[in-house]
Chain A
């Protein structure tokens, strides 16, 4: 798919520019004529959603930075001032705070779609790794951003997470002090977190550019996982996918707007409306919902260092996934057994998130005193987190490599067009979707 270019400069100015900086050609090849498999379902629209969210977060963030004061004495009140006295500040702040959640919601759907349809496999490994880098940068950005309002959760969350580095042997405490810029989370920490929170989104934008570049060399994967064989299999990106993505983005924005306008605090924690007080630790320190599964993995392990290693390992695992998967079949449509494990995996991630929101010693089933097993109650969130974490790692390191070697996949279609054309429901009207289409 690379190397195609249907762009023909029409005016003298375009020809002049095209032989010097072919930027219009680039734009044309990327978002206009780019041949895209015609069978992409709605799960594929989240790439567009994510680009929009990144843009929105950057724009709203730049406006907020004009009014925000990164100082321990003023940060909390400056956010309130934005919401009370800045024209439409309540809107910009709500868009930004809820935007972070929407951004993560979209990225999780994007990642799970990728896992289901095997998009990370050859020749898209670099594309996948760049995506993992973006995800990692997003987590760092979100963490720094959550500290900025300087509420109780901001502060104590920052204490917990920066203390994790202290678990590293020998160098840990020194690195922590260096990160803090002092001997505790304090004004220097807030200042550097603000600086980094402003920097990282532009790094994300840079990696997104590489991500899109890496997408445009092999082109999109598709729900069948079968390579594009001919021109029949594709449609130009514009207008076909601009309109389809546009529709999906608009629906996504409706959900986003429900939070921004009607539930602005639903995804946040009430404790973050209390100004940070280092001397008063909240009873339960919980991260934002999108980091809960990793928090559960961290707390599933009795040893702090091991917990940290496993938590980062959970993300590091994603980077090597293309080489853990031994199956040549991309789409889980043709891997019925693996598909089952996949859905258990999705469930395990949700369970881990649920565990992360609870104190480790809380009972999973209330009022049932489960038996003590090793160091904790079997009916506590500790053990549920351990089971979830075990499945998380087993899915990537055991199930994925073994299934590829042992399973018998269903026959794949010859090309993208074959299942479509041979399908009785797919009249030329194109209104009926194929039944297995997951949209």
Chain B
């Protein structure tokens, strides 16, 4: 049992004194995994094709956090670059004696 948080799927079961499966060649599927197919963190722990669309609540949360992070970073990228360019154009125009750029724009498009 994990100490504070158990982020592994429920199909990974606890077996007291579990040892590798009898066939020593079968070194991957050890006893605690033998009922498990999908082993990803926060995953449903089901087999492929069996309720593939379903997931544990934790996995939905992780997925939507990822999607949100992706969208936010794209928006931040645009905002950050826009601010950076406005500042730089202001420095150029200040150096050359031209008018500083107005908020919300950095000069005409070509």
A joins B in a complex: no
